[in-house]
Structure 1
Amino acid sequence: MTILITGGAGYIGSHCCVTFLEAGHDVVVLDNFSNSSPESLKRITAITGKEVAHEKGDIRDRATLERVLRTYNCTGVIHFAGLKAVGESTEVPLSYYANNITGTLELLAAMGACNVRQLIFSSSATVYGEPKFLPLTEDHPLSATNPYGRTKLMIEEILGDVSASHPSWRFGILRYFNPVGAHKSGLIGEDPQGVPNNLMPFVSQVASGRRDKLSVFGNDYDTRDGTGVRDYIHVVDLVEGHLRAYEALASLTDTDNSFTVNLGTGTGYSVLEMVKAFERASNQAIPYTIAPRRPGDVAEVYADTNKAADKLKWTADRGLEDMCSDTWNWACKNPKGYDGSSE
């Protein structure tokens, strides 16, 4: 009884592997390493003391998916694989639709062929579009302001249709906010290839001297300091939410065979507040300049977390200090990411 983790060598996927292995589950990773490193799998073993079964492959390859599901006798899937940057999605939308939607369709088809019908899907708060009210509850109207968000919303709709097609399917849709931080050990963390698309890895690279300064995209939003406000959640809290969600699949019924919950903290921090917090954690100055807003960005986003607490018996425990200090610990121990050996 093994759980397939697609994209399991990536940032969130690697932390998920650690949490599931430590909880006693067997996992197998499928990853094409387009934005991840095989080194993360070695680090997972170093943390857990358990070898990580893994296969190199693309989720758009149905034959590979079916082979992996059957070979490892998989009973469920946690689906992280896909492209994930809002800004990049506006530049190469076709890549996002091909990877995220086609990949999920092939995964679902392979699961159906192998009679594997339990899935936790990595969705996103971007499916809420421009917030009509805050905090965001799961019944907030859905829309998307960028191709990345639209792929997540389309996949949610696909999962809804599949769950309605046969009662044996079990789906948990997790809409999460802005994952940051790293494992306490400093062995695994966020290691984007090329220029980071997310705030925290960029800030840490500025603090460590890899980059000269941070670009803050917009300072004229209707927020307390003019910069965008987001709900940042520690990645370890996030993957613990995935564990609770996977366990919750067992309580679903043929007439109630899916759920959708937010994974966030319920607290929003602005870009400049994050910069100041990271300066305190790292004892380094973070130079920044103001740049134009990015297409598709919204002013303020943070979660209502009541449903996760009720449905999953889960709340985020780690605060902003842990998010920043754990990120800095990872950056200091891995100044060149996985490509440079741990120092």
Structure 2
Amino acid sequence: MAILITGGAGYIGSHTCVELLKAGYEIVVVDNYLNSKPESLKRVSEITGKSFDVYHVDLMDEKSLDQVFIENPIEAVIHFAGLKSVGESVKTPLLYYEHNIISTVKLCNVMEKYNVKNLVFSSSATVYGEPERIPISEDSPLKAMNPYGRTKLIIEELLSDLYESDHNWSIALLRYFNPIGAHESGLIGEAPNGIPNNLMPYITQVAIGKLKELNVLGNNYPTCDGTGIRDYIHVVDLAKGHLKALEKITEINGVNAYNLGTGKGYSVLEVVAAFEKASDVKIPCKIVGPRPGDIAICYADPSKAQMELGWIAEKGVEEMCADSWRWQSSNPNGYDTKTKIKIT
């Protein structure tokens, strides 16, 4: 039996593929490479010494997806595929509603057709919007504030409706906080298209000279240094959370949401300082206006995941920064490289 990974070539997906293969799972990957590169999957094989089937398939193409299920004994699905930029979603909301929601409906249609009813869904802490209390627990009010977050929330709701219609479904909704870091090998990491939307790849691209300086979005928040505080989690810890969720959904039916975060908050400038220490590279910063809709403080209460999944984040911010720098300094252009990697 195999685990289907949608969007497996992406940042979090590729790291999860590594952890699944290391744990002895058989995997099948589908990806349309809109926000990812096939090279990442070659490197997953390099890291693990294992091969696996990969399909260049868009989830909007239900016929091609159907063929994946015909050709493989799929037992469960980990669903990463989707558009993920908050800013882009504000500019092109229809694109996000179409790609993220309709593709999930098509995926669930095919899963139902082949009686595959175990699903781990890649959700987001953006479903909480501006939190009423910190730390944020899973029972906090859900009030997404942008189209990206609303697509995640709508999908959570439709998956809950799906379970209500058929109690044979078992679904884990994983609400990520802020993944950073990279695999310790330096072979896979975050490789955004264009100017990064997230803090760490922006910092690392300044460090290698691709960008002039880091734009710090606001310094008048009610925090220790005036910059926004977020819950940064190492991508490998996050990947391991998917394995724990996978174990859970194969044991019991239902729909359960879990925060995947460290439970600790770091400001932008604290992350910059940690990166400078890890890399021995000075990061020039420029204070600019805050981004509309940004909140001052956001970090998780991850106790439910610890109690019910047996999962806890283990890596600290120093390790997150060191691994990010190893990845970026070894791959200054991300996966756009002519370096040949031997596949086992």
TM-score interval for Structure 1 and Structure 2 normalised by the shorter chain: over 0.9
Which residue is 1:22 aligned to? 22
Q: Does 1:164 align with 2:161?
A: no
Aligned to 2:27, the other structure's residue is in SS state strand
More off after superposition, 91-100 vs 185-194:
91-100
- Counterpart residue type for residue 105 of structure 2: L
Deviations, residues 181-240 of structure 1 (Å, cap 9, x unaligned): 000000000001111111100100001111111111111222221111100000000010
1:286 and 2:263 aligned: no
1:341 positional shift: 4.0
Matched, 1:229 2:226: no
Stretches of structure 2 that go unaligned for 5 or more consecutive residues are none
| TM score, norm. by length of structure 2 | 0.97
Alignment of 1:300-311 (within 5 A): 300-311=297-308
Q: Which runs of 4+ in 1 moved over 4 A?
A: none
Letter of the 1:92 partner, please give it: T
Q: Secondary structure at the match of 1:75?
A: strand
Deviation digits for residues 31-87 of structure 1, max 9, x if unmatched?
010111100111001000011310001111111111112211111100000011112
Question: Is this contact kept in 2: 1:145–1:297, CA < 8 A?
Answer: no
Of stretches 289-298 and 323-332 in structure 1, the one that deviates more from structure 2 is: 289-298
Q: Residues 65 and 110 of structure 1 are in contact (CA less than 8 Å); yes or no, is this contact kept in structure 2?
A: yes
Partner of 1:339: 336
SS at structure 1 position matched to 2:155:
helix
Q: Identify the residue that residue 40 of structure 2 maps to in structure 1.
A: 40
Aligned residues with identical type, % of pairs: 56
1:176-325 to 2 correspondences below 5 Å: 176-253=176-253, 257-325=254-322
The CA deviation string for residues 269-314 of structure 1, in whole angstroms up to 9 with x for no partner, is 0111111111111111111112222223211110001100001001
User: Hey, what does 2:144 align to over in structure 1?
Assistant: 144
Give the CA RMSD over aligned residues: 1.1
- Gaps (5+ residues) in structure 1? none
1:147-189 Cα shifts (integer Å, max 9, x gaps): 1111111110011000110011110110110000000000000
Query: Who is 1:66 aligned against?
Result: 66
Q: Distance in 2 between matches of 1:245 and 1:320?
A: 24
Counterpart of 2:50 in structure 1 is: 50
1:91 aligns to 2:118 (yes or no)? no
Partner secondary structure for residue 186 of structure 2: coil
